[in-house]
Structure 1
Amino acid sequence: MLICLSASHKNSSFDLLERLSVDAGAVGSVIVSGHDATRGAVVVATCNRFEAYLDLDKPFGVSPLPAVFSAIEAVSAATAVDVETLRDTLDLVHGNGVAEHLFAVSAGLESVVVGEGEIAGQVRRSLERARSLGTTSPELERLFQRASQTSRGVKNRTGIGSAGRSLVRLALDLAESRVSDWAETSVLLVGTGRYAGASLAALRDRGVEDVQVYSPSGRGARFAASHGIVAVPATGYAHTAASVDIIVTCTTADHHVLDAAVITAGRAELGLDRRERSGAPVSVCPARTARESRSQLVIDLGLPRNVDPDVGGIPGVELLDLETIRIHAPLEELNATDEARAIVGRAARKFTDVAEEQSLAPAVVALRSHVFELLDAEIGRARARGDDDGRIEQALRHLAGVLLHIPMNRAREYARSGEQQAWLDSLEAIFGIVPEASSEQRAAPAPVPLTRRANS
């Protein structure tokens, strides 16, 4: 049984998502070890979502909630978010809905900016991380691989990728009204990861030429050399941070890499504080450097937050973070989105059909074993009576195949319509066959109804 526990920008604050932004692989390991029924776990943690995908060894009709609550407790232990908050916040997706949810997530349909391309890679790397730690399972492997295939199909067959924009580009769109000439705008990138590369590309698309990079981890020189920009040393960080027009932070650091003290110290070095106290006129043209103006824009793309909120209290400094970007995210491009969701829906139904058929596999094997045991007995009797040319055996084997054909097809039909139990009941009524999984179901207590909420 597949389960997804989901917290995203749709049901959670960025404060909570920030607290859930932890080592996804470590959380998956704790989840798997926390309950005997948990066969596998893959955790997807991005800048605007935290999701745990679980594969539970629970037969049809048995409540998964004990294993689900165990997983929530594991997340609580790893993130220091209390259990009650998680139960009240996390959406619970189960059964056939899990595939459609993950496929939509991977295709960018559930992102802050519909169609953003970063999420597909994040989903893929989540599986790779779980695989390296041994927390995945065959069913989760199949689920995530199919999600990657579906996201590629959506990208290739719809306009969702071009209609939707990345968080980086949306942030720069929001900054557009504050910039009179991108070519005259100076920018400091803080961070050297994937978002830094995307940010640099988006800035250059707008004509920005003056870009410098600072890396809290010391990777700035390498990034600068490979991208043809200037690296800022640690000793020059405050000075540069105070002098540029725009600062874009995009690191994976678990602490603030920019705060009011840094900019204030840099301004003191530049002598801006003295000019402000003297009452000298200060230009507010965003195209000029901070030596002539106090107007600055700080774009924080990090989660956990890279920028201390106290930066927004500095005169002339405006802070644009993920929370603000989410509020200003554009409406979905309806045609492309509808087409993409249709592709996702078809892929999810196909995935579910295969899964449902596999759920009846033990019963199918039991039926075939029962029929072939009878067949072997009859063939043995025929040989004892002188079936020298094997014609009777051939006829019996043909008859067995004919008899099994309809039940096998019915098994697929009933599985795809979600009526496995009807097929199992008929198998017991006609042949007296009760597969092991089915006997467990009959011995199990009545299931607890599931809803979309984890605390139901």
Structure 2
Amino acid sequence: MVLLSLTASHRELDLDALERLSTGSSSVGRVVVRTCGPVAGAVVISTCNRFELYLDVDAPLSGDSVRHATRHVAELVADASGVTGDVAARSFTVRTGPEVTEHLFAVASGLDAMVVGEREIAGQVKRSLAEAREQETTSKTLELLFQTASRTSKRVGTDTELGSAGRSVVALALDLAERELPPWDGTRAVLIGTGSYAGASVAALRARGCDDIRVYSQSGRAEIFAESHGVQPAASLVEALADADLVVSCSGARGRLPAARDEPEAEPERLADVVAGNFGGPTTLPRGLMGEDAPEASLGHVLDAAALVRARERAADRAGDEPEPRPLVILDLALHRDVDPRVADVEGVLLFDLATLKARAPAVAHDVVAQAQGIVDAAARRFEETRLGREADAAVVALLDEAEVRAVAEIAADVARLTDELAARDQPAPDESDVEAIARDVRRRVHAELHDKIVAIRARATAEARAAEAALVQGAEALTAEASAQRDAGPSQRR
């Protein structure tokens, strides 16, 4: 078994490129497992700032085969996301063997996040494994890898200051919004979406003293979410916006079909039908997507500029004699941009998106990061030692099976010989205790002879695995370097 991962994140790509790449990501794991024979398992992590595919490959790989495997997976990702195969291949950083383990543990612990120390990623890693289980794409190795990553994340959270700092994309976004808002106890907030970031936003808003929170959802889940979180559902987004000071949008519902609202794993082909004009025209979704009185929404945005202008007009009417309505701060935390960027041009509106947050993310003290990294490195080493040991165990088990066959034969021969000797002296045949004594002696001798062989097998298996993984790392590094060079090159220099 070989671990292989393909990563595209905010560190390598701008968020626009990452957004295009991760479109249709929910189906990629299934497709890879079903169409790639050597792939025994796949887990996909798709968040607001990363798209990663972890593979368990049941085949020997060389540097060249890593290149071919990566290219094949890139083509599958390209088919699901609508980008070209070349773009997908250039976008990935490829890791193999121990590098996969080290990277995932760092990701789960918040060390590779847009906001270093972000704790929400730990939950996203858990959900990624749960989704892979539902899709039946996991393997024993990936199960153990992801479960160990979660345990490592918990230790970083409890044993370092990184875990107690409460750092997250949501917290950073609210920090940036705070200076433009009324006091929190007088702020009226609207959430768009009912996923994990919406839940984290409710908790973060309440911690700051904001209790006037409403939630809107295209999928019709607003009332369920509102009841479970103690907030108010909003039937019309335009109405809610007209009376809001702050909007936190984190639905990631860009481009979804109304008919698929309750189906989080809507197939990309259905979305392609919309783009092709088979549902409401080539560039629009049906009226009502953003509330009964919203204008037709442009495909791809939960909140467009026209709807916001209408909401601001209502806010101005309600303001009456006041010189202008209260300003509106919008936080777009969805990778697939819930909010049309042109919203920033509407008077009285301030828009913060993920690109803004990435540029303003604060640094973390070096010693705190080093302590967390030490925990991650130690956990990764232990996992790899265990994994290599398990791979050697297969050879050891085969040797033990062979030894048992030999022992059984020797026991039978010794019992027969003793039986003949006793018969020659007219004595009774060996009883059960005699046979057990012979069996113990034979097995003790056979297993003693195996000790040196087992030690040699483990050492050889470990050395061969490490040598193979070193070759894989070289191949992955060459592939990543090639992709990086193509990303850095101008369009005219790319092949």
| Secondary structure of the structure 2 residue equivalent to 1:450 | helix
Aligned-pair CA distance for 1:203: 1.8
C-alpha RMSD of the superposition: 3.0
**Equivalent residues in 2 for 1:47-196, closer than 5 Å:** 47-59=48-60, 63-179=65-181, 181-196=183-198
Aligned-pair CA distance for 1:268: 2.7
| Secondary structure of the structure 2 residue equivalent to 1:248 | strand
Letter aligned with residue 70 of structure 2 = V
1:357 equivalenced with 2:389 (yes/no): yes
Q: How far apart, in 2, do the equivalents of 1:156 and 1:380 lie?
A: 59
Q: How far apart, in 1, do the equivalents of 2:227 and 2:416 lie?
A: 85
Letter aligned with residue 352 of structure 1 = E
- How far does the alpha carbon of each residue in 1:198-244 deviate from its partner, in whole angstroms, 9 at most, with x for none? 2122222222243333333333344444444443332xx32442443
1:265 — aligned with what?
A: 310
Aligned-pair CA distance for 1:31: 0.7
Aligned-pair CA distance for 1:394: 4.1
8 Å CA contact 1:360–1:420 kept in 2: the answer is no
Aligned-pair CA distance for 1:175: 1.9
Q: How far apart, in 1, do the equivalents of 2:458 and 2:86 lie?
A: 41
109-118 or 365-374: bigger deviation: 365-374
1:398 equivalenced with 2:444 (yes/no): yes
| Secondary structure of the structure 1 residue equivalent to 2:477 | coil
Q: How far apart, in 2, do the equivalents of 1:191 and 1:128 lie?
A: 21
Q: How far apart, in 1, do the equivalents of 2:220 and 2:159 lie?
A: 41
Aligned-pair CA distance for 1:334: 2.9
1:319 — aligned with what?
A: 351
2:252 — aligned with what?
A: 252
**In the comparison of the two structures, how many residue pairs are matched?**
418
Q: How far apart, in 2, do the equivalents of 1:8 and 1:382 lie?
A: 66
- The alpha-carbon distance between structure 1 residues 370 and 200, as it changes in their structure 2 partners (threshold 3 A), is closer
Letter aligned with residue 292 of structure 1 = P
8 Å CA contact 2:248–2:330 kept in 1: the answer is yes
1:292 — aligned with what?
A: 325
Q: How far apart, in 2, do the equivalents of 1:42 and 1:256 lie?
A: 28
| Secondary structure of the structure 2 residue equivalent to 1:306 | coil
Q: How far apart, in 2, do the equivalents of 1:61 and 1:296 lie?
A: 55
| Secondary structure of the structure 1 residue equivalent to 2:308 | helix
- The alpha-carbon distance between structure 1 residues 66 and 219, as it changes in their structure 2 partners (threshold 3 A), is same
Aligned-pair CA distance for 1:356: 0.9
Aligned-pair CA distance for 1:256: 1.1
- How far does the alpha carbon of each residue in 1:98-140 deviate from its partner, in whole angstroms, 9 at most, with x for none? 1121111112221111222221221112112111222111111
8 Å CA contact 2:250–2:334 kept in 1: the answer is yes
8 Å CA contact 1:55–1:140 kept in 2: the answer is yes
Question: Under a length normalisation based on structure 2, what TM-score does the superposition of the two structures give?
Answer: 0.76
Aligned-pair CA distance for 1:50: 0.6
Q: How far apart, in 2, do the equivalents of 1:99 and 1:193 lie?
A: 28
8 Å CA contact 1:28–1:135 kept in 2: the answer is yes
Aligned-pair CA distance for 1:419: 4.4
Aligned-pair CA distance for 1:41: 1.0
Aligned-pair CA distance for 1:398: 1.8
Q: How far apart, in 2, do the equivalents of 1:206 and 1:222 lie?
A: 24
Question: Under a length normalisation based on structure 1, what TM-score does the superposition of the two structures give?
Answer: 0.82
Runs of 5+ unmatched residues, structure 1? 283-290, 423-440
**Equivalent residues in 2 for 1:200-219, closer than 5 Å:** 200-219=202-221
Aligned-pair CA distance for 1:299: 0.6
Letter aligned with residue 326 of structure 1 = K
1:451 — aligned with what?
A: 476
1:409 — aligned with what?
A: 455
Letter aligned with residue 2 of structure 1 = L
Q: How far apart, in 2, do the equivalents of 1:375 and 1:226 lie?
A: 64
**Equivalent residues in 2 for 1:223-234, closer than 5 Å:** 223-234=225-236
| Secondary structure of the structure 1 residue equivalent to 2:171 | helix
User: 1:301 pairs with 328, 333, 341, which one?
Assistant: 333
399-408 or 54-63: bigger deviation: 54-63
Runs of 5+ unmatched residues, structure 2? 255-299, 420-429, 483-495
- The alpha-carbon distance between structure 1 residues 420 and 203, as it changes in their structure 2 partners (threshold 3 A), is closer
- The alpha-carbon distance between structure 1 residues 415 and 349, as it changes in their structure 2 partners (threshold 3 A), is farther
8 Å CA contact 2:193–2:218 kept in 1: the answer is yes
- How far does the alpha carbon of each residue in 1:52-88 deviate from its partner, in whole angstroms, 9 at most, with x for none? 1111111365834333322221111111121111211
Aligned-pair CA distance for 1:154: 2.0
- How far does the alpha carbon of each residue in 1:350-380 deviate from its partner, in whole angstroms, 9 at most, with x for none? 2111211222234323433444444445444
Aligned-pair CA distance for 1:33: 1.8
| Secondary structure of the structure 1 residue equivalent to 2:68 | helix
- The alpha-carbon distance between structure 1 residues 177 and 447, as it changes in their structure 2 partners (threshold 3 A), is closer
2:279 — aligned with what?
A: none
| Secondary structure of the structure 2 residue equivalent to 1:265 | helix
8 Å CA contact 1:25–1:130 kept in 2: the answer is no
| Secondary structure of the structure 2 residue equivalent to 1:386 | helix
1:328 equivalenced with 2:368 (yes/no): no
Percent identity, aligned pairs only?
42
